[in-house]
Amino acid sequence: MFKEFNIENLENSKNDLESLLTSSKEKIEELLKIEDKTYENFVKPYEEVGESISDFVTPIFHIDSVKNSEITQKVYEECLPLISNYETEVSQNDNIYRSLKDIQDKSRISLNDIQKKVLENEIRDFKLSGCHLNNEKKEELKELNLKLSELSHKFSQNILNATNAFEMIIEDFEDVKEIPESDLELAKFEDEGKTKYKFTLQMPSYLAYITYGTSREKREEIYKAYSTRAPENGKIIEEILKLKDKMVKILGFDNYAEYSLSTKMAKNENEVVNFLEELALKAKTKALEEIEELKEYASKDNLNDIKSFDMAYYSEKLKKEKYDLDEEFYRPFFEQNSVLNGFFDFLNEVFNIKFTQTDAKAWDKNTKVYNISEEGKTIARIFIDLEARKDKRGGAWMNNWHSYYIDSKGKEHLPTAYIVCNFPQSTDTTPSLLRHSDVVTLFHEMGHALHHLLSCVPEALVSGISGVAWDVVEFPSQFLEYFAYDKEVLKLFAKHYKTNEVLSDEAIDKIIKAKNFQSSLSTLRQVEFALFDFKLHQKLFKTEKEVQDLLDGIREKYAAIIPPSYNKFQNGFSHIFGGGYAAGYYSYKWAEVLSADAFYIFIDSGKVLNSELAIKYKDTILKNGGSKDMDKLFFELTSRNPSVDSLLKIDGIIS
């Protein structure tokens, strides 16, 4: 039923991939020989060729992110040019493009809406790949695509190497005295009969010191190490921007932002910039009030020049004083297994889906594998890898492996996906205890996963997250996040791992009240990142200095606090230089408008755990995947167009 995760033959992947790609090209050539092409005899088998390649390649690229080693890097680097060249060749094949166009023209009446959407997307993407260009231009694009893939991977690898290269050793207990016991336990080690503490740039360790570290000097040391990681990425950014600009000019676009929007819900560049600037304008007044409140609080500590590396430390103290909220108090109530099991109970209650753990093989002993069933029928599989490791890329993400579809022989294929996070590690003596923010992250990534796994669209090219416009792909993930602040939901799993005591109403109320603490500052920060990304791709910035000047100008206008001049945030901005968010980082806020407005239906119903509404959401949004445009699906769900005010209200920015 499901393909097992197996990379025992990893080192031979290059040869296996070469064989697979050769046979795929042969299959496509055979399909092109069909005289009377139809959707069934051409598009379906063509779609299946793509699925078989994804089936093989995804684990190879995935393993490099979660079990990074010299071998995985070598295999990645060997396979990347093969897959990049193959994809470019196929996407520039004018015969495939014309075949799809012919089927679209002659079968318009007999095709169903989902098939029409597949053809519409594919024909658009072929045009965007340059299939209409002459051979010289196609060859140039092929080289550009390969170089960009290599640079993107190098960018991410540089960050991982820099993250792993740094250690801050502390011997004086005074410098760590405020750090929570569970974090301190992970940092502690014995050396020559002395107890010492080691902090790294791995996210759980970095957050522990920047949030609770008593020594301002040490906070700056670790902040500086984090914000100056991978300086060599400055030159890679120059190269990426130059190549992207070259690529889109060949394709007939004025800039990369215009090219990026051709597959998104936002209509044009002005709409995106105006949307972001409007958000910034509405959030800034309150954000400045929030920063003044923080400065006033820090002044009690005789600190009159608050810096970026003080923000987390004093924000945590202020939050604790304001809401009597101590993050560390909650962690024993959010033990990883308890959270997972309670989360599954919640998903079963609202979406009527059941998670059953299996002993299927994965890449690490701490990775758990579950089959998902609905009405007693197994419909999907998910791999969940939650704990931070040295050989694992930072951050959190969902990666789709297989899509749901029905093949040309009528066989049903079930979807699979991976969720990866970097939560505190478990040890022999301490289980993995999460912060509430980790719980929110888990809900977020599961939102993505369910969007992919609950799809029942029979066409792989628009099933699950395939074919979903990038600026609305965050809608289901952010929507699910809101439930992590609901009292009824939290009570399903917030249980003390030693006593089994359920988190009290009073303690949960504090989390809910503190949800919008510094939400305007957070909104401004996201707008800063999004405007920097979008404007960076509206014209060609040729040097590191030009890139820095753009970022400085945006900060000057919108940031509530200016970071130190050594901060090189851009060199670690892997979303846009190592991932798929270039000229698309605005998507987080764009999609948040949809998710906040959708969540308001539940609030207005008077019952957040409303299974009737949740099933409607599942059937309308999740099951349809990318088979319909999200604005149409949103209207089907809510009977209205989304409003920015819902987001501002839910974030407490307006009342």
Q: pLDDT of 170-190, one tens digit each?
A: 999 999 999 998 899 999 999
To 5 degrees, how large is the angle CA 64–CA 67–CA 69? Answer: 75
Tokens read off for 184: 């301190």
CB atoms within 10 A of CB 100: 21
Residues 54 and 118 in one domain: yes
Element (H, E) at 189: strand 188-191
The DSSP bridge partners found for residue 370 are: 357, 382
The pLDDT value recorded for residue 182 is 86
Angstrom distance (rounded) from CA 571 to CA 505: 43
Residues 38 and 110 in one domain: yes
* pLDDT for the residue 186: 92
Give the domain CATH number at 374. 1.10.1370.40
Is 445 part of the annotated catalytic residue set? yes
Asked if residues 110 and 38 have their Cβ atoms less than 8 Å apart, the reply is no
610 three-state secondary structure: coil
Mean pLDDT of 364-378: 97
| Mean predicted confidence (pLDDT) in 223-229 | 98
Residues 635, 496 share a domain: yes
C-alpha torsion 485→487→489→490, nearest 10: 80
Mean pLDDT of the chain: 96
Task: Report pLDDT digits (tens) over 460-497.
Answer: 999 999 999 999 999 999 999 999 999 999 999 999 99
Report the Cα 33 to chain-centroid distance in Å. 41
Catalytic residue among 221, 445, 481, 528: 445
Q: Are 379 and 386 in contact (CB under 8 A)?
A: no
Evaluate whether residue 420 is within a structural domain. Answer: yes
In this structure, are 487 and 613 located in the same domain? yes
Distance from C-alpha of 450 to C-alpha of 452, rounded to nearest angstrom: 5
What's the pLDDT tens digit per position in 42-72? 999 999 999 999 999 999 999 999 999 999 9
619 is a domain residue: yes
**CB 560, CB 521: distance < 8 Å:** yes
Q: Are 54 and 188 members of one domain?
A: no
State the Cα–Cα distance between residues 236 and 232, nearest whole angstrom. Answer: 7
Q: Are 10 and 56 in contact (CB under 8 A)?
A: no
* Residue 114 in domain: yes
Given 211, 227, 243, which residue is the final one in a domain? 227
- Decide if 267 contacts 577 (C-beta within 8 A): no
C-alpha torsion angle, residues 530, 535, 540, 546 (rounded to 10)? -80
Give the three-class secondary structure for 354.
strand
Same domain, 345 and 463: yes
pLDDT for residue 45: 97
Residue listed under structure tokens 């007999």? 110
Quick one: which of 7, 156, 124 has its CA closest to 148? 156
H runs (alpha helix) in 171-212: 181-187, 203-212
**Per-residue pLDDT at 328:** 85
For 226, residues 6+ apart whose C-beta sits below 8 A from its C-beta are: 201, 206, 210, 572
Average pLDDT of 344-362? 97
Q: Check if the beta carbon of residue 517 is closer than 8 Å to that of residue 576.
A: no
Amino acid at 507: A
Quick one: which H or E segment has residue 221?
A: helix 216-227
Per residue in 556-606, pLDDT tens? Answer: 999 999 999 999 999 999 999 999 999 999 999 999 999 999 999 999 999
Name the residue type at position 220.
E
State the Cα torsion 476-481-485-489 to the nearest 10°: 70
Establish if 274 belongs to a structural domain.
no
Burial class (CB in 10 A: 0-12, 13-18, 19+), 105: exposed
Same-domain status, 58 and 196: no
Task: Decide if 179 contacts 187 (C-beta within 8 A).
Answer: yes
Please report whether residue 238 resides in a domain. no
| Other C-beta atoms lying within 10 Å of the C-beta of residue 6 | 9
B/e letters for 529-550, b = 16+ CB within 10 Å, e = fewer, are bbbbbbbbbbeebeebeebbeb
Give the per-residue pLDDT at 67: 97
178/81 same-domain check: no
pLDDT digits (tens, 9 = 90+) for 1-41: 899 999 889 999 999 999 999 999 999 999 999 999 999 99
Q: What percent of the chain has pLDDT over 90?
A: 96
The fraction of the chain above a pLDDT of 70, given in percent, is 100
Centroid of chain to Cα 653: 25
Does 655 score more than 90 pLDDT? Answer: no
In sequence order, what DSSP letters do the residues of 402-456 get, joined into one string?
A: E--EE-TTS-EE--EEEEEEEEPPP-SSS--B--HHHHHHHHHHHHHHHHHHT--
Neighbours of 612 (CB within 10 A): 10
| Strand ranges inside 252-318, DSSP E | none
Could you tell me if 480 and 343 are in contact, meaning their C-beta atoms sit under 8 angstroms apart? Answer: no
Q: Which residues contact 15 (CB under 8 A, 6 or more apart)?
A: none
Nearest-CA neighbor of 368 among 332, 403, 337, 414?
A: 337
- What letter represents residue 408's amino acid? S
Q: Please indicate, yes or no, whether residues 503 and 619 belong to a single structural domain of this protein.
A: yes
Q: What is the CATH number of the domain that holds 79?
A: 1.20.1050.40
pLDDT band at 252 (very low <50, low <70, confident <90, very high): very high
Domain boundary among 208, 227, 246: 227
CB-neighbour burial class of residue 234 (10 A; exposed 0-12, middle 13-18, buried 19+)? middle
Q: For residues 155-175, b (16+ Cβ closer than 10 Å) or e, as one string?
A: bbbbbbebbeebebebeeeeb
Q: Is residue 278 a part of any domain in this protein?
A: no
Q: What is the pLDDT of residues 499-556, one digit of tens each?
A: 999 999 999 999 999 999 999 999 999 999 999 999 999 999 999 999 999 999 999 9
Averaged over 354-380, what is the pLDDT? 97
Do residues 437 and 383 lie in contact, with contact meaning Cβ atoms separated by under 8 Å?
no
Cα–Cα distances in Å, from 129 out to 22, 501, 538?
21, 57, 20
Residue 326 placed within a domain: no
Indicate if 198 and 342 belong to the same structural domain.
Answer: no
The C-alpha atoms of residue 605 and residue 353 are separated, in whole angstroms, by 22
Domain assignment of residue 263, yes or no: no
Q: Of the ranges 268-277, 314-323, 639-648, which one carries the lowest mean pLDDT score? A: 639-648
Q: With cut-offs at 50, 70 and 90, classify the pLDDT of residue 429.
A: confident
- Both tokens of 438, joined, read 């980790």
Asked if 450 and 595 sit in the same domain, the reply is: yes
Query: How do strand 188-191 and strand 194-200 relate by DSSP bridges?
Result: antiparallel
Number of domains in the chain: 3
Separation of alpha carbons 212 and 654, rounded Å:
31
* Same domain, residue pair 438 and 384: yes
Looking at 227, 244, 259, the residue that finishes a domain is: 227
Q: Are 1 and 378 in contact (CB under 8 A)?
A: yes
Question: Reduced to 3 states, what is the DSSP secondary structure of residue 396?
Answer: coil
Interval 91-131: pLDDT, tens: 999 999 999 999 999 998 999 999 999 999 999 999 999 99
CB-based burial label for 399 (10 Å; 0-12, 13-18, 19+): buried
- Residue 222 belongs to what domain range? 166-227
pLDDT at residue number 326: 84
